Structure formats: structure tokens, C-alpha cells
Amino acid sequence: MRIYKIAQNKIQFKDLNVGDQFYHSHYGISEKTGENTYNTNDGSPKNIRNIEDQVSIIRSPEEQTEKQTMDIGSNAEYPSAALSNFSPHSFSIDGVSCASMEGFLQSLKFDDPERQRQICALVGGKAKGKGRKRKWFLDQTLYWLGKPMDRHGSEYQSLLDRAFNAMFESSEPFRNALKASGKATLTHSIGKDDAKATILTINEFIKRLVKLRSRLT
């Protein structure tokens, strides 16, 4: 389905051949007055055939992102921001309720299970702040429900897989954001590549998002 925008009159509507399918929004057409004629919000009729030269095609969100690079970050626009670990996508893993992926990840820096549960309930910057001063990198050890794990071991990678899968299954907004990213190449410029310095590298993050996105097609 093509989407058109008439730049001068800020009219946006779908397929010219289907006159009654159009967007109202802040661009909107107020009403259809004839087979190919619409009233704009200022009340003036516009004939589609007479203004096609002024019409530019705007592709659907999925088409727009097909050849784009999408940099994920909490301060970006949708859907990039909604794919950030800061976003409030709730899920449960091993009986622990998590309000966001960031809460879950930061909790892994603590060896006390009760403290982990508390941090899992946090979102965004509040969750990030709780783990900022933890020196887990000194021995490269992380924890889940009291059990220590080697940051570079397969057990840790499996835990990450389970957490992202749980969020995917539980959070419809997360799935919608993944779908809206279309075929865009996902990046995370604020992330880190060194596994010794971060609990989730850029590659560990992006490859899981891409794998989950593939399940939606």
C-alpha cells in the first residue's frame, strides 16, 4: 500500500485508487467530497488528478528502514528508543519479575539474590545507576540468583539468551518495535566492544535483536 503526501497542503493519504482510505493525523484530510476530490482542513477542495505532480511517495515504516542504519539509544526516535535496554519492557525469568532489560543486566553485578530482585524492578537510568560503581570487572564474575558465572563463559551467554527470549515473548511493545525496525542495519554507537569492560557488548546486544526480529517475518 503506497502512502502519499501533498507537501504544500500537508495532506497525507493511502493509495490514490482507494479514496476513502486516508490518514487524519495532523496532516489529515477532513473529508472525501468526490471520487478523486478531497477537502483539506482549510475547507478547500483539491482534485487528486490536478495535483499528482505535487505528490511525493512516502514509504511505509518497514520500507523506510529497509536500507537504513538504525542506531539504538534511549534518546532516539521510535523504534530505536523502544529497542533500548532502558525501555520499560517487562518480563519474568526464573521467577524474577523484571521491569526492563537494563534492570536485569545491572542486577547481574550483585551476588545477593534479594538485591537482584530489587534492581530487576527498576527501569532506565535508575537501574543503570545502581550498578555503575560495582567493580565486577576485577574478577570478571557476574551472578544470577546467588550463583557466580564467568563473564566469558557459555553459561552466561545462555542466560542472556533466555532473558532476551523472555522479553520477546512477554512484551508486545518490544516485538512491535522490532517489527517496525524493518530490515534496517541495527547499531549501538554508545555501546562497548570489549567484553571485559561491559556486561553486554554491542555484538552480544545486536545479534540477539536481529535473531529475534527474524522470528517476526
Greatest Cα-to-Cα distance within the chain, rounded to the nearest angstrom: 73
Cell 521510535 locates to 78
In the chain, pLDDT over 70 holds for what percent of residues? 69
Mean pLDDT for 36-52 is: 47
Mean pLDDT for 57-74 is: 67
Q: Which amino acid is at 128?
A: K
pLDDT band at 217 (very low <50, low <70, confident <90, very high): confident
Mean pLDDT for 182-207 is: 97
Domains and CATH numbers, the chain: 3-58 (no CATH), 69-214 (1.10.357.40)
Q: Give the C-alpha separation, 178 to 158, whole Å.
A: 21
Mean pLDDT for 127-141 is: 97
Over 60: is that where the pLDDT of 136 sits? yes
Pick 3 or 70 by higher pLDDT. Answer: 70
Over 50: is that where the pLDDT of 7 sits? no
Report pLDDT for 44: 52
Q: Are 68 and 183 in contact (CB under 8 A)?
A: no
In the chain, pLDDT over 90 holds for what percent of residues? 68
Over 70: is that where the pLDDT of 29 sits? no
Over 50: is that where the pLDDT of 3 sits? no
Number of helices followed by number of strands (H, E) in the chain: 8, 12
- Which residue, 5, 96, 20, is CA-closest to 105? 96
Report pLDDT for 45: 52
Q: Give the C-alpha separation, 199 to 189, whole Å.
A: 16
CB atoms under 10 Å from CB of 215, counted, come to 10
Backbone angles phi, psi at 18, to 5 degrees: -120, 85
Q: Are 74 and 190 in contact (CB under 8 A)?
A: no
Cell of 99: 521491569
Mean pLDDT for 27-51 is: 46
Q: Give the C-alpha separation, 19 to 14, whole Å.
A: 8
pTM here is 0.71
Report pLDDT for 81: 97
Q: Are 206 and 91 in contact (CB under 8 A)?
A: no
